[in-house]
Amino acid sequence: MGADLHLDLAVPSGRGVRAALTDALRTAVRTGRLAPGTPLPSSRVLARDLGLARATVVDAYAELAAEGWLAARQGGATRVAPSAPTPGDASRPATVSAGPGVVHDLRPGRPDTSVFPRAAWAQAVRRALATAPDAALDYGDPAGHPQLRAALVSYLARVRGVRARPEQVVVAGGATEALRLLGGVLTERTGAGLAVEEHGLPVHRRMLDGLGRPTVVLAVDDEGACTDTLPALSAASGARAVLLTPAHQFPVGVPLAPARRTAAVAWAREVDGFVVEDDYDGEFRYDRRPVGALQGLDPERVVHLGTASKALAPGLRLGWMVLPEPLARSVTSRAPGSVGVVDQLALADLLDSGGYDRQVRTARRRYRRRREELAGVLEARAPAVRVVGHPAGLHALLDLPPGTEAEVVERARRRGIAVEGLATFRHPDALARRDGLVVGFATPSASAWSGAVTALGDLLAEIG
C-alpha cells in the first residue's frame, strides 16, 4: 500500500501545485520530520493521497533528486538522501552528538565507533544465545555472569598481569558506574574522600565529590602522579584511598614511574587504604609492550577498573572491577546487576575465542598510525606546538605556549573543531596552570580523519 506521509500542501498565489509540493517536501526534510534514509510513498500512492496528477509527483521527486534532497533507485523506493541537510545546519555534522556546528570531532576518550566489529559481535551474540541455558536469562548474580567473570580473569591475567579469582570480579554498566559503586564503599570504609590526580575526568571527580566527602588533589608531573606525597596528603586530609591512571595518565599521557608505583602500594599498606587503578586504555601502548597493571604488585590493596569502551564501543556500557575480597563482598551487595546477560555472554565469547584480542590489535595499529600522522603534521606545520607524553592511548596532549589555550580552544570552536583544553580536566584546587590541548585522535571515522587532522594543523600553524 506504500508509506503514509502527511504534507501541508498550501498553494501560494502565482505558484503551481508542483512548486508547492517540492516546497513542502524540502521543509519536511530541512526540519528533520523526514530523516535521511526515510522511504517516501510511491508517486502513485502520494498522488492519490493528495489528489494530484501522478505526473506532478514524478516531476517533484525528480527535481528534488537532482537537487540532492532525495535519492531514487531503479526498482526501489525513493528515499530522503543520506546527505540531505539536517535541522539547524546546511550540512550534516560529522558527529551529531558533538554539538551543533561541529565538523571535525576530536574530543578525547572516544574510539572510532565505525570500526566496531559488528560481524564478530553478531556471531558472538548468536553463539551465546544458542548455547546459554534457559536459566541464564533469569535474574542473575548482581556481580555479573560467572562465564564473563571467569573470562575476564583469564584475559586480564594474560594481558595486564592482574591476579584474581572470578569471585573478586564485579561487572558494571561502564567504568563510571563501577567507580560510583566503589567510591561509596570506600568513603564509608575510610570516613574520608579519595585523593585524585590534579588532571582527570570531571565526571569522575563530580561523582566522587557527590558522595559526601570532597576529593583532595594529588599533583602530577612528567613521571605521573606524585605518589611520594601521599603520606603528607593523607595526614592532612584523612584520605586513605587514591584514584590513579598509572598506565597512561589522563590526560597528560605519561605512565607512572616505577618508584612511584611502589610508593603508592607502600602507602596503601601503611594506612590500611586502597589504590584504585583506572586502566581505561592500558592495552594501547605503541612503542613497546604495555606496562603491567599496578594491581599485580598487591592484589589486596589495589582495585583494578577496566572497560570495553575503548576496544569495542562506549555504547555497550560494559565495565568491570577486580577487587580485594573484603571490598568485593561490599560492592556486590550494592551492585544493581545493570548489564544485560546477552551482552555479558557475547563479551565472554569474544574474550575466550580470541576475537577481543584481534580487535585490540586492529585498533592498536590504526591508532598508532594516527598518532604518528598527528605528530608529523604538527612538526611540519606548527613547530611551536609539540606532542607530549608517551605513544599510547586514544588521545594526545599538545603543549601550547603559555597563555594561548583559551584562544586556541575558541578558534577551534569557531571553525567547527571539537577539541578540549587541558583546563577542562583540571581539579578546581590544582595549583598547576599548564596550557595544552587534549586531542582525541581516535574519535573520527577513517573517512573523517584526514580532514580533521588537516583542519587542526591549519589552526595550530597560526601559533607563533
Question: What residue segments make up the domains of the chain, in order of their start?
Answer: 17-92, 104-116+358-460, 118-354
Residue predicted with more confidence, 175 or 397: 397
Q: Which CATH number fits domain 17-92: 3.40.50.1100, 3.30.56.10, 1.10.10.10, 2.40.50.100?
A: 1.10.10.10
Res. 161: pLDDT tops 60: yes
- The percentage of residues in the chain with a pLDDT greater than 90, rounded to a whole number, is 69
Query: Looking at residue 64, what is its pLDDT?
Result: 85
Average pLDDT over residues 441-457: 94
Please state, in angstroms and as integers, the Cα–Cα distance from residue 163 to each residue in 76, 154, 182, 417, following that order.
Answer: 57, 9, 19, 42
Average pLDDT over residues 56-63: 87
CA count, 13 A, side-chain hemisphere, 17: 11
Tell me the fold of 118-354.
Aspartate Aminotransferase; domain 2 (3.40.640)
Order of strands, sheet of 319-322, starting from the edge strand that comes earlier in the sequence: 169-172, 319-322, 302-307, 274-278, 241-244, 195-197, 216-218
- Burial class, 463, CB count within 10 angstroms (exposed 0-12 / middle 13-18 / buried 19+): middle
Q: Which of 95-99, 194-198, 240-244, 348-352 has the lowest mean pLDDT?
A: 95-99
> What are the CB-based long-range contacts (under 8 Å, 24+) for 42-46?
42/2, 42/77, 42/78, 43/78, 44/2, 45/1, 45/2, 45/3, 46/2, 46/5
**pLDDT category of residue 11 using cuts at 50, 70 and 90:** low
Average pLDDT over residues 116-142: 93
Res. 4: pLDDT tops 80: no
Encode pLDDT of 408-426 as tens digits: 999 999 999 999 999 999 9
**pLDDT category of residue 381 using cuts at 50, 70 and 90:** very high
Q: Which CATH architecture has domain 104-116+358-460?
A: Alpha-Beta Complex (3.90)
Encode pLDDT of 62-117 as tens digits: 888 877 788 877 667 888 888 665 554 433 333 334 555 789 999 999 999 999 99
Query: Looking at residue 127, what is its pLDDT?
Result: 95
Encode pLDDT of 30-56 as tens digits: 888 888 888 988 888 888 888 899 999
Q: Which residues touch 83 (CB under 8 Å, ≥6 apart)?
A: 36, 68, 92
Which set of grid coordinates corresponds to residue 309? 569502551
Q: Which of 140-154, 245-259, 284-298, 340-354 has the lowest mean pLDDT?
A: 284-298
Distance separating the N- and C-terminal Cα atoms of the chain: 65
- Threshold 0.85, pTM exceeds: no
Encode pLDDT of 204-225 as tens digits: 998 999 888 999 999 999 999 9
